[in-house]
Amino acid sequence: MKKYISTFLGLQAFFVMNHLHADETTSSPTGGLSQTLMMIAIALLFFYFILWRPEQKRRKAMQKQRESMKKGDRVTAMGIIGTLIRVQENSIILKMYDGSKIEMLKAAITDVQPGSAEDAKRAEKEDAETKVEQSS
């Protein structure tokens, strides 16, 4: 037990002496608060120009693309590709390759490819057929 106490006291004395010696050799930091504020400002600028601003531009471009959709456009939504036959307030109706029709949210659209005039006429005809089917 005496051995452990003497070892503990020896280690304690070593750390105290080491701490006192370290205090003598270090100088006081210069510009502490201003340097910290400068680093925070640089970090904020980094996050704005590298992360936030490009994401904001991408969102605006996608919103513009979703607003410019019209009948006959080829649309990709969550990996599903179809021809747009009706645009509603918050959703769209797509016609798939096999002729089936599904309703999807506008927010799910990832790509819009403009269709031709023929596609628009075909979509108009299919939309009219869909309305007749729903009414009966």
According to DSSP, residue 79 is labeled: T
Residue 6 belongs to a domain:
no
Cβ atoms of residues 130 and 87 within 8 Å: no
For position 133, what pLDDT does the model report? Answer: 67
Cβ atoms of residues 65 and 73 within 8 Å: no
41 and 61, same domain (yes or no): yes
106 and 56, same domain (yes or no): no
Cβ of 71: how many Cβ atoms within 10 Å? 20
What percent of the chain is helix, strand and coil (3-state, nearest 5)?
60, 20, 20
The reply to whether the predicted model has a pTM over 0.75 is no
Residue 79 belongs to a domain:
yes
What total number of domains does the chain contain?
Answer: 2
73 and 131, same domain (yes or no): yes
- 93 sits in the region (left: phi over 0; alpha: psi -120 to 50; else beta) called beta
d(CA 59, CA 122): 31
73 and 102, same domain (yes or no): yes
For position 105, what pLDDT does the model report? Answer: 92
Residue 104 belongs to a domain:
yes
73 and 85, same domain (yes or no): yes
DSSP, collapsed to helix, strand or coil, labels residue 26 as coil
For position 40, what pLDDT does the model report? Answer: 95
pLDDT in tens, the chain (136 residues): 555 555 555 555 566 565 655 555 555 556 689 899 999 999 999 999 998 999 999 999 999 988 888 888 999 988 899 999 988 888 999 999 898 999 999 989 988 888 777 767 777 777 777 666 666 6
User: Which range marks the domain in which residue 78 is found?
Assistant: 69-135
